[in-house]
Structure 1
Amino acid sequence: MTLNGESSCRTLGSREVTASPLRQNDSSTAGWSLEGRLIGVTAARKAREQIEMFQRRGADIMWAPALSLVPSMIDERELRRTTQAVVGRPADLFLATTGTGINSWFESADSWGLGHDLVRVAAGAEVLARGPKSAGALVGRGVRVDWSPRSECFADVLAHLCRRDLSGKRIIMQEHGLSQDRAAQVLRERGAEVIIASIYRVEGPESPARLDELLDLVVGHALDALTFTSAPAVASIMRAAALTGRESAFVDALRGDIVVACVGPVAADAFSPWSIPVVVPRRYRLGALVKLVESYLKQR
């Protein structure tokens, strides 16, 4: 496994983990709070930053990206047809889920000469944004945002809508990497017309074997902690566990003595169907995540 093209792995016993340069160059480990701890990191983006913070505390790392480093863009012709349908008539509700997706969509619409019309439709609807990034992307286009959940979870956006009468409402939903067909079906069952704009899809890991090795470590209770920085990463690893017949053992292990840490509530919420205890830092930042894991492991 490499980080940004640089080889960074060594073997501890039968386990291959990312090697800390500090461990190679400094034989004095006194005071290293995570000395002897093995931490699984599932992030694809910004993995180096997280790994190095753990390594500076003496930890060994098993890096197994749960997702591809590069999201797969949806077919441009499909998105253009969807955009034409969106701007064809006014919408009642406009749901934004990611800043990256909104920016990509509006930039594509600009290139097709539909940017102004897309802004007009969004501005004329009641706008719900999942979090500050999607809200900021819309505000940058001059579109006000009427409501956003404090949790930044799409499940709360859906719950907010389901408390209302949606009969005959036209809803535009921007997809955020994973399919939102299930959410759309829930809204349609309540009488709404739903148009999904798929901007990009998050792909599975580029190295399934690496993720498979991480699953073995979790099931074997060899990890001390496992970190997540996105909900799609949670979905990916749970899907991998299920497909390989290890879901039950994997869930049991995560409910046991492994610290499962998520950078924010969106990723943490993805674990809710399995009732897995998760810790989340007060500040949704990588540094805070690392310090939180350190704090929990120091107590054990």
Structure 2
Amino acid sequence: MTRDVENGPRSTLDSTHVTVSQLRPNETSPAGRSLEGRRIGVTAARKAREQIEMFQRRGADITWAPALSLAPSMIDEGELRRATQVVVGRPVDLFLATTGTGISSWFESADSWGLGNDLVRVASGAEVLARGPKSAGALVGRGVHVDWSPQSECFADVLAYLSRRDLYGKRIVLQEHGHSLNYAAQVLRGRGAEVVIVSIYRVEAPESPERLGELLDLVVGRAVDALTFTSAPAVASIMHAAVLTGHESAVVDALRGDVIVACVGPVAADAFSPWHIPVAVPRRYRLGALVKLVESHLEQR
């Protein structure tokens, strides 16, 4: 049996182009119209409305083309149950959490199988590292103490933190965050650790890939002023679409020059490194900071 999981309600933004008229009256332009006449391409699937409305309050026109599915799909329930039984079967030394949605869904499923208390027990007996505040909050909500979390909210920094540790013989539980973390597991296993990977959900390709194609046409035609990204998989998805449509070279040229590329954090930004595309990243890895960064860059043009 499979189930769908979403972080909050599905967005009702169902058109490629979102207009200012969709805002509620009391949300009109408290920040001024600094982006009047500008068009922003938004690739986020989750929390898209929040980002879009912040840009619209500044007067921007929006092209919304989710680069990933709006509804990540749960893996087979039997597979997750078997993985949970493996996890609770023996003590765990390190428990690595990556997403709040994934942790919450996992523990709720464990409750339904009568394994919830066992999962809390093994997690509480381990050293717990959380990628960010959402995964940490989900664990704390279950009574599990979190020992460390990077300010960057980047899993790469969790691995860097562990790089100074002796992991030989350690039993590590690694919660995947929608995309495979096999590379991380191999790194940890190469240092002598036993790694149990637990996949709660997987992020799928966008439901409407043609919308990415339309956005790429706008990029090539320099009809958008900026593109925003909130995850590395979204970057991979849109660049893959550029390859499939035969626009890779033209897209790269546009993103290296006329179109501002802004990412909410360094992990997403690093995904552009193979194409040597300059990326703007806010000091605080938050949507509000991302919007203000784009605003600042465009005001200088």
Specify the TM-score bucket, using the shorter chain as the normaliser: 0.7 to 0.9
Give the aligned partner of residue 287 of structure 1: 288
Give the aligned partner of residue 212 of structure 1: 213
Once the two structures are superposed, what CA deviation does each residue of 1:59-86 show, in whole Å capped at 9, x if it has no partner?
2221101111111011100000000011
Give the aligned partner of residue 94 of structure 1: 95
Give the aligned partner of residue 202 of structure 2: 201
Shift, 1:171, TM fit: 1.0
Q: Match for 1:192: what amino acid?
A: A
The 1:122/1:7 distance shift into structure 2, 3 A limit, reads closer
Shift, 1:153, TM fit: 0.3
Once the two structures are superposed, what CA deviation does each residue of 1:242-275 show, in whole Å capped at 9, x if it has no partner?
4444444433432323222223444334445544
Give the aligned partner of residue 297 of structure 2: 296
Is 1:50–1:290's contact at 8 Å kept on the other side of the alignment? Answer: yes
Separation in structure 1 between the aligned mates of residue 100 and residue 44 of structure 2, nearest angstrom:
19
The 1:176/1:5 distance shift into structure 2, 3 A limit, reads closer
**164-173 or 272-281, larger mean C-alpha shift:** 272-281
TM-score by length of 1: 0.85
Give the aligned partner of residue 21 of structure 1: 21
The 1:92/1:246 distance shift into structure 2, 3 A limit, reads farther
Separation in structure 1 between the aligned mates of residue 11 and residue 36 of structure 2, nearest angstrom:
25
Shift, 1:295, TM fit: 1.5
Is 1:153–1:269's contact at 8 Å kept on the other side of the alignment? Answer: no
For this pair of structures, how many residues does the alignment match?
285
Is 1:177–1:232's contact at 8 Å kept on the other side of the alignment? Answer: no
Is 2:35–2:60's contact at 8 Å kept on the other side of the alignment? Answer: yes
Shift, 1:231, TM fit: 3.3
Is 2:13–2:49's contact at 8 Å kept on the other side of the alignment? Answer: no
Give the aligned partner of residue 62 of structure 1: 63
Is 2:152–2:285's contact at 8 Å kept on the other side of the alignment? Answer: no
**286-295 or 58-67, larger mean C-alpha shift:** 286-295
Separation in structure 1 between the aligned mates of residue 115 and residue 205 of structure 2, nearest angstrom:
32
Q: Equivalent residues in 2 for 1:137-152 (5 A)?
A: 137-152=138-153
Q: Equivalent residues in 2 for 1:241-260 (5 A)?
A: 241-260=242-261
Moved runs in structure 1, 4+ residues, more than 6 A? none
Q: Match for 1:95: what amino acid?
A: L
Give the aligned partner of residue 81 of structure 2: 80
Give the aligned partner of residue 14 of structure 1: none
Separation in structure 2 between the aligned mates of residue 6 and residue 156 of structure 1, nearest angstrom:
34
Separation in structure 1 between the aligned mates of residue 112 and residue 20 of structure 2, nearest angstrom:
46
TM-score by length of 2: 0.85
Is 1:38–1:225's contact at 8 Å kept on the other side of the alignment? Answer: yes
RMSD: 2.6
The 1:252/1:192 distance shift into structure 2, 3 A limit, reads farther
In structure 2, the residue corresponding to 1:58 is in which secondary structure? coil
Is 1:152–1:266's contact at 8 Å kept on the other side of the alignment? Answer: no
Separation in structure 2 between the aligned mates of residue 98 and residue 37 of structure 1, nearest angstrom:
34
Separation in structure 1 between the aligned mates of residue 90 and residue 65 of structure 2, nearest angstrom:
45
Is 2:34–2:299's contact at 8 Å kept on the other side of the alignment? Answer: yes
In structure 2, the residue corresponding to 1:194 is in which secondary structure? strand
Separation in structure 2 between the aligned mates of residue 292 and residue 38 of structure 1, nearest angstrom:
15
Is 2:15–2:64's contact at 8 Å kept on the other side of the alignment? Answer: no
Is 1:8–1:19's contact at 8 Å kept on the other side of the alignment? Answer: no
Once the two structures are superposed, what CA deviation does each residue of 1:12-64 show, in whole Å capped at 9, x if it has no partner?
xxxxx433329xxxxxxxx7322222210112233233223323333222110
In structure 2, the residue corresponding to 1:177 is in which secondary structure? coil
Q: Equivalent residues in 2 for 1:103-252 (5 A)?
A: 103-252=104-253
Unmatched 5+ stretches in structure 2: 1-9, 23-31
**144-153 or 171-180, larger mean C-alpha shift:** 144-153
Separation in structure 2 between the aligned mates of residue 186 and residue 217 of structure 1, nearest angstrom:
40
